[in-house]
């Protein structure tokens, strides 16, 4: 829902200011459309239906995984493809992974989104409408900006959407932004008033290998990225999560684990090892034994690590797999 358009339409209709809050409250609580808003006058509902689309996105299709994960493919008003994912966990958590761009201008070599043609930044309304789509299915309580695109390159719209999330049921402390290391965005997040979690996609313990995997490293090398993350920690006093995708024979050796542990201050960082999810890249995923050995090596050297639970792999909804394959060319 385009909330600026909603405000303008209500103002033009001479409606009191509380009407916008009333409509937004219904939407944030999962209303299926204007017809559900029973305390909004019927004539006004008709006007809103004709002048303010209930969503800025058109749902093209949904895919449902065997583990309960749901992936939604949307089109924007100008035909841009966007994917978002709802992940259901046994402990009751309902987490959403949302996109901040259609496609991605950065070309991380393991990520399917990087193979798409970059479209554009999404508006705050288009980001929020991904969330509202899933909220209409069931209550949600966690969110990460980790879908298509680099959220720090669309910082203003990402933060504008994030400010609305508590109304939907997702607190700022249960919201995370994942970045490849876009330093200006990390610095801007540090200066905001929102206690949003920061996650850094690292994937290598030294610059040469990281530049091969993630060309953005040539623009913002490790020392600069980690300095920005450490400044964030100094101000926020919240640990930074390190995402490290496990690539067989590339970044999963014992020596690399030791190098990573020596690079990262355990007071500041916690590592999340990510099993590689198949895309059309040149990589193979590390074996479970290799992942376990890498984790053990990190912990031997004092660095906490977890292994991410993969969700939605069978519908190409897992980490690194979003590529809008069903979108029109």
Residues of the chain with CATH 3.20.20.70: 56-315
| Model pLDDT, residue 315 | 53
Which residues are bridge partners to 201 per DSSP? 243
Evaluate whether 150 touches 179 at the Cβ level (below 8 Å).
yes
| Model pLDDT, residue 329 | 30
Encode pLDDT of 209-241 as tens digits: 999 999 999 999 999 999 999 999 999 999 999
| Model pLDDT, residue 325 | 54
| Model pLDDT, residue 113 | 75
Average of per-residue pLDDT across 163-175: 98
Encode pLDDT of 118-138 as tens digits: 889 999 999 999 999 999 999
DSSP string, 111-160: -GGGGSPP--BPPHHHHHHHHHHHHTTS---EEEE-SSS-GGGGHHHHHH
- Would you name the residues annotated as active-site residues? 83, 319
Helix H or strand E segment including 42: helix 42-51
Helix H or strand E segment including 244: strand 240-246
Whether residue 271 has pLDDT greater than 80: yes
- Distance (Å, whole) CA 8 – CA 16: 12
| Model pLDDT, residue 310 | 72
Q: Please, what is the end-to-end C-alpha distance for the chain in angstroms?
A: 26
User: Higher confidence at residue 325 or residue 130?
Assistant: 130
Whether residue 114 has pLDDT greater than 80: no
pLDDT averaged over every residue in the chain = 92
Evaluate whether 43 touches 13 at the Cβ level (below 8 Å).
no
| Model pLDDT, residue 116 | 74
Buried b (16+ CB within 10 A) or exposed e, 289-298: ebbebbbebb
Which tokens in the block code for residue 73? Answer: 């493919």
Encode pLDDT of 29-87 as tens digits: 999 999 999 999 999 999 999 999 999 999 999 999 988 999 999 999 999 999 999 99
Encode pLDDT of 14-29 as tens digits: 999 999 999 999 999 9
Residues of the chain with CATH 1.10.150: 1-54
Which tokens in the block code for residue 199? Answer: 């996650």
- Distance (Å, whole) CA 2 – CA 201: 31
What does CATH list as the number for 1-54?
1.10.150
User: pLDDT tier at 312 (50, 70, 90 boundaries)?
Assistant: low
What does CATH list as the number for 56-315?
3.20.20.70
Which of 33-42, 71-80, 151-160, 320-329 shows the lowest per-residue confidence on average (mean pLDDT)?
320-329
């Amino acid at each position: 829902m385009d909330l600026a358009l909603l405000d303008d339409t209500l103002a033009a209709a001479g409606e009191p200011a509380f009407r916008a809050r009333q409509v937004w409250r219904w939407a944030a609580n999962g209303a299926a459309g204007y017809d559900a808003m029973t305390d909004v006058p019927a004539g006004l509902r008709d006007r809103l239906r004709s002048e303010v689309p209930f969503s800025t996105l058109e749902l093209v299709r949904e895919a449902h995984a065997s583990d309960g994960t749901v992936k939604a493919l949307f089109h924007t008003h100008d035909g841009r493809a966007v994917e978002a994912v709802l992940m259901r966990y046994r402990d009751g958590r309902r987490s959403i992974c949302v996109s901040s761009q259609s496609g991605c201008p950065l070309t991380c070599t393991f990520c399917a989104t990087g193979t798409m043609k970059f479209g554009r930044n999404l508006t705050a309304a288009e980001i929020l409408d991904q969330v509202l789509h899933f909220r209409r299915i069931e209550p949600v309580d966690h969110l990460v900006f980790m879908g298509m695109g680099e959220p720090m390159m669309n910082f203003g719209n990402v933060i504008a959407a994030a400010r609305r999330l508590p109304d939907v049921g997702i607190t700022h402390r249960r919201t995370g932004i994942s970045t490849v290391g876009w330093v200006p965005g990390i610095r801007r997040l540090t200066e905001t008033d929102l206690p949003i979690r920061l996650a850094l996609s690292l994937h290598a313990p030294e610059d040469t290998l990281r530049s091969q995997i993630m060309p953005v490293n040539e623009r913002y090398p490790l020392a600069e990225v980690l300095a920005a993350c450490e400044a964030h920690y100094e101000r926020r006093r919240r640990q930074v999560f390190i995402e490290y995708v496990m690539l067989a024979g590339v970044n999963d050796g014992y020596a690399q684990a030791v190098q990573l542990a020596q690079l990262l201050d355990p007071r500041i960082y916690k590592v999340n090892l990510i099993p590689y999810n198949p895309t059309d890249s040149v990589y193979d995923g590390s074996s479970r034994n290799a992942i376990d050995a890498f984790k053990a090596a990190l912990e031997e050297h004092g660095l906490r690590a977890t292994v991410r639970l993969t969700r939605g792999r069978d519908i190409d909804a897992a980490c690194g797999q979003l590529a809008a394959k069903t979108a029109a060319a």
